[in-house]
Amino acid sequence: MSGKRLLLNLVIGAASLAALYLLYRAFQKYTWADIFESVQALPWSNLGFSLLFCAGSYLSLSLFDALGVRYAGKPLPFHRTLLASFCGLSIGHTVGLAALSSGAVRYRFYSRWGLSNEEIAKVIVFCGVTVGLGLAALAGIGLLLRPQAAQALGIGEGVAMTIALTCLAACAAYVVASVFLRGSVRLWKWTVDMPDWRLALGQIAVGTVNFACVAACLHQLMRAYGNAGYFDVATAYVTGNVATLISHVPGGLGVLEATVMHLIGEQKAIGALIAFRVIYFFIPLAIGLVLFLTSSFYLREPEEERSENQPSKREAAVLN
């Protein structure tokens, strides 16, 4: 086994152990009685729709990767990008530092499917940009349609409208840049290949749908405890997500809850937040770990690695 392969296995092993530890620690934070009571209080309709929107989010996330491999010039069958995305992000959402943790898992899959290190890096950066575009688009749409939702942040309607238009203008500028800027673009110390305008539109579409589904997942649970509107919850979730990205707290544990509680202002919402963490983080994590560990035994080594470890046809003929 090469040194690079050994290092990758150590990183993935550490990420998997960290995910299991954080899962254990998170369940210590909420007793089984708390979890059971919060889930039991949910009507079946709300719970069902919440699970449906959770599935919609992870399906949208898999489209990040499906577009990403096209951007890298190495399109793959959808079932492969679905597997790589779900395993990587179900672990990365909980471990935190998703670019590193989910990136290592993605590398494990994509390297075995023939992508080079540079191509895998392109996929990961492309997905990261899609996250930012999705957050900006949903924030812009939410504040534009309901600027009152930002009042809990101490932001007036005029400022909220300005933020909304800025977010939407940034998304539009990205698409315009993808039309007129062809090839590589120099950004400070980095050189970036601009995507085709159709891929850029796809990024904004799937990024927005993803975060809209996550907000809808949380909203369905919040409805069981109060009368919070969808755009109020969406604004709170986007704000909490940004705070999570800034803090780098694994899985946003505590940050998301504190932000949403501050913005929504309903004490009973803690039950919905517990249920949300179970549905959106813990259940996918458990499934993702099983899928990842199982698939590791069945996926073949990449062609270049097999060619290094196996003799050539001429060598085989000599040996025989």
Cβ-contact 287, 229 below 8 angstroms:
no
Cβ-contact 132, 145 below 8 angstroms:
no
Please give the average per-residue pLDDT across 34-43, as a whole number.
70
What pLDDT, on the 0 to 100 scale, is given for residue 81? 94
**Residues near 70 by beta carbon (within 8 Å), at least 6 away in sequence:** 199
Which amino acid type is present at position 206? V
Higher pLDDT, 190 or 304: 190
Higher pLDDT, 300 or 162: 162
- Bridge partners of residue 190, in order along the sequence: 187
- 304 has a pLDDT exceeding 60: no
**Residues near 15 by beta carbon (within 8 Å), at least 6 away in sequence:** 91, 95, 101, 104, 105
Express each pLDDT in 103-115 by its tens digit: 788 888 998 898 9
What pLDDT, on the 0 to 100 scale, is given for residue 194? 86
E-strand spans in the chain? 184-187, 190-193
**Residues near 69 by beta carbon (within 8 Å), at least 6 away in sequence:** 75, 76, 81, 110, 115, 119, 123
**Is the alpha carbon torsion for 272, 273, 278, 280 positive or negative?**
positive
198-237 burial: b if 16+ Cβ within 10 Å, else e? ebbebbbbbbbbbbbbbbbbbbbbbbbbeebebbbbbbbb
- 312 has a pLDDT exceeding 50: no
Higher pLDDT, 107 or 35: 107
Cβ-contact 302, 111 below 8 angstroms:
yes
Q: What is the DSSP string of 55-71?
A: HHHHHHHHHHHHHHHHH
Please give the average per-residue pLDDT across 174-178, as a whole number.
92
Integer angstrom CA distances of residue 1 from 9, 114, 298, 305, 311: 10, 18, 17, 10, 16
Q: State how far the Cα of 119 lies from the Cα of 154, in Å rounded to an integer.
A: 43
- 209 has a pLDDT exceeding 80: yes
Kindly give the interhelix angle for 197-222 and 157-180, rounded to the nearest 10 degrees.
150
Cβ-contact 269, 222 below 8 angstroms:
yes
What's the whole-number average pLDDT of the chain?
Answer: 76
Higher pLDDT, 298 or 255: 298
303: pLDDT confidence band, cut at 50, 70 and 90?
Answer: very low
- Residue 161 C-beta-side C-alpha neighbours within 13 Å: 3
- 98 has a pLDDT exceeding 70: no
Higher pLDDT, 287 or 93: 287
